[in-house]
Amino acid sequence: MALSNSQYEAIIKEYQRTRDENRALEDARRQEVCEAIPEYLPLCESVSTLSVARAKRLLEGDDAALSGLREELAEISQRRKRLLVEHGFPADYLEPVYRCPDCQDTGYIASPEGLKAKCHCFRQQEISILYAQSHIQEMIERENFSVLSYEYYQGEDLRRFQAAVGVSRRFIQEFEGNCQNLFFYGAVGTGKSFLSGCIAKELLQRGNSVIYFSAAGLFDMLARYTFDGRLKEGLQDFCEDLYGCDLLIIDDLGTEITNNFVTSSLFACLNERHLRGKSTLISTNISLEELRNRYSDRVFSRITSSFTLCSFTGPDIRILKKRLSNAPAT
């Protein structure tokens, strides 16, 4: 799917707003430093004075005019940083401020071929707009490692959950340049979707593109693009997003109405992402036996051979939390 003109312009305006805010912050910091360190501004002005003087000498025929200029400018830069530190400022306090250093908040970077290409931050904004129904932003706000707790697990349930957390953290640490897949399965409310949200947030913060779908929502959208003649031309773009994002999360596999279309679409998605070296995370409440019986042998084989399997057991934590919150105080 492609952005509409208004959606594209909204993203570009957001980048402009970010640059304006950062420039205002940089100006405020410069003013703060100049008021706190009277000798800082003259030191900065000496850079242009020195450069102009050397350029004038060069125009007058002095071939050695630029000799040592780089070293002198480097020394001035170091003196400026020392002044900042001596007066309690960070050494990089006056460096340019960027929300995304890779594209410097323009949304575009240079491709290996020297052409302009969309930055990963632009790509994620596209995904967030085009797949707003996935509610990924809402999910990662409430489900992330900052609220991780083991207090509702005991015994074997606790050991399984701790193991899954360890697997999730390694998945994040080793994500770059390493195609890996996770399959979370087990009872309702045991932490599968929670860990999926933890992983999504960490990878989004690192600049990776993440698409999240419930299984029912994913296959419903695929069906509409495939069978609705009015939408059919968008199928290729949708599949490109689905197959090309850094991480695809399919939540609650098995809640959809399973049929031949769903089974073949699931295998096509998993296989294409495998061929492209892209990672996939699937969570489900069904057992491995039901997975084999419900989907094709090809799907079962792909998942059990290419995914790290994590089993979740225990009571429904959401119900447990509700009971505890409603319990009378003692």
The per-residue pLDDT for range 294-317, each reduced to its tens digit, is 998 999 999 999 999 999 999 888
pLDDT of residue 303: 95
pLDDT of residue 328: 59
Q: Is the pLDDT of residue 325 over 90?
A: no
Q: Between 264 and 118, name the one with better pLDDT.
A: 264
**DSSP classification of residue 329:** P
Beta bridge partners of 210: 247
Q: Cβ(122)–Cβ(108) under 8 Å? A: yes
Beta bridge partners of 253: 284
Dig out the tokens for 29 from the structure.
């910091």
Percent share of the chain, pLDDT over 90: 51
Q: Is the pLDDT of residue 330 over 60?
A: no
Q: Is the pLDDT of residue 168 over 80?
A: yes
- Cβ partners under 8 Å of residue 209, min gap 6: 120, 123, 124, 127, 245, 246, 247
- Whether the CA torsion 128, 133, 138, 144 is positive or negative: it is negative
Give the integer Cα–Cα distance in Å for 20 and 102.
Answer: 18
Section 46-67 average pLDDT: 77
Q: Is the pLDDT of residue 119 over 60?
A: yes
- Cβ partners under 8 Å of residue 302, min gap 6: 267, 270, 271, 274
pLDDT of residue 198: 93
Cα 313 to the chain's mean position, in Å? 29
Domain ranges of the chain: 131-323
Section 164-188 average pLDDT: 93
Q: Is the pLDDT of residue 213 over 80?
A: yes
Average of per-residue pLDDT values in the chain: 87
pLDDT of residue 264: 95
CATH fold for the domain made of 131-323 = Rossmann fold (3.40.50)
Q: Cβ(262)–Cβ(219) under 8 Å? A: yes
pLDDT of residue 180: 93
pLDDT of residue 4: 64
Q: Is the pLDDT of residue 132 over 80?
A: no
What would the pLDDT profile of 245-299 be if each residue is shown by its tens digit? 899 999 999 999 999 999 999 999 999 999 999 999 999 999 999 999 999 899 9
Q: Is the pLDDT of residue 230 over 80?
A: no
Tell me phi and psi for residue 108, to 5 degrees. -135, 145
Section 149-170 average pLDDT: 94
pLDDT of residue 277: 93
Give the integer Cα–Cα distance in Å for 9 and 142.
Answer: 30
Distances (CA, A) of 190 to 90, 136, 217, 250, 317: 45, 19, 22, 17, 6
Q: Is the pLDDT of residue 160 over 90?
A: yes
Count CB atoms within 10 A of the CB of residue 20.
Answer: 11
Cα 213 to the chain's mean position, in Å? 16
pLDDT of residue 284: 96
- Residues counted in the chain: 330
Give the integer Cα–Cα distance in Å for 98 and 285.
Answer: 42
End-to-end CA distance of the chain: 56
Give the integer Cα–Cα distance in Å for 210 and 203.
Answer: 8
- Cβ partners under 8 Å of residue 325, min gap 6: none
pTM > 0.85: yes or no: no
Give the integer Cα–Cα distance in Å for 303 and 37.
Answer: 62
Tokens 């959950």 label which residue? Answer: 161
Give the integer Cα–Cα distance in Å for 55 and 155.
Answer: 75
Q: What is the DSSP string of 259-307?
A: -HHHHHHHHHHHHHHHHHT-EEEEEESS-HHHHHHHS-HHHHHHHHHHS
Section 93-122 average pLDDT: 87
